[in-house]
Amino acid sequence: MKELAGQTILVTGASGGIGADISDSRSCADLKSKVMNRQGRIDILANNAGINRRGNLLALTEDDWHASFAVNLNSMFYLCRAVIPHMIEAGGGAIVNTASQWGLYPAPNHIAYNATKAAVASFTQNLARDYAPHKIRVNAVCPGEIHTPMLEAGVMRAGKTIADRRWCADMKSNAFRPLMLSVMPA
């Protein structure tokens, strides 16, 4: 991590720091301004905030659908739009967007989450192509399941436990089994 020493990284989805409603464009612009005022620059933007509203097309509410897009995708649009002009002026930067394996290989009964994370992958590819000439690297990570309170709550709602491998088999088709891994956050 020596290469990150002295750099300013704006991370969303963290448990502390500057509070902001990242689903609101003005709040994202204000967040960027607060970080710039405190640090003088933003070298890296890590878009990591996310929510998972469980349900298939007929079970999911419109509010759940809109909330999923607001947090999982729109927030990235707002923050990238706020930060990229600064990165261009600074001569470059890096953006890391958190997508999901479920954006590439959708899990059942998670239509909003799956759709938003697929959109994040496409959004990231577009930004990477558009801003590479400005020396802005844009990448996505597509993690599998991470043992977080959000995952634990979903598993408990299903009446299962993380250790219940049968639950994993029920949730995933055979195509997912090679990918089936639940990891602990650092």
- CB 120 within 8 Å of CB 98: yes
Active site residue 113: yes
Q: How confident is the model at residue 151 (pLDDT cuts 50, 70, 90)?
A: confident
- CB 100 within 8 Å of CB 124: no
Catalytic residue among 78, 105, 113, 131: 113
Instruction: Read off the pLDDT of residues 68-108 as tens digits, 9 standing for 90 and up.
Output: 999 999 999 999 999 999 999 999 999 999 999 888 988 89
pTM: 0.78
CA separation for the pair 177, 166 (Å, rounded): 11
- Which of 172 and 152 is assigned the larger pLDDT? 152
Kindly list the structural domains of the chain, giving each domain's residue range(s) and its CATH number in brackets, ordered by start. Answer: 2-143 (3.40.50.720), 146-186 (no CATH)
Pairing of strands 44-47, 9-11: parallel
Question: Which of 5-19, 36-50, 79-93, 120-134 is predicted least confidently?
Answer: 5-19
Counting DSSP H helices and E strands in the chain, the numbers are 7, 6
Hey, which residues does 96 pair with through a beta bridge? 46, 139
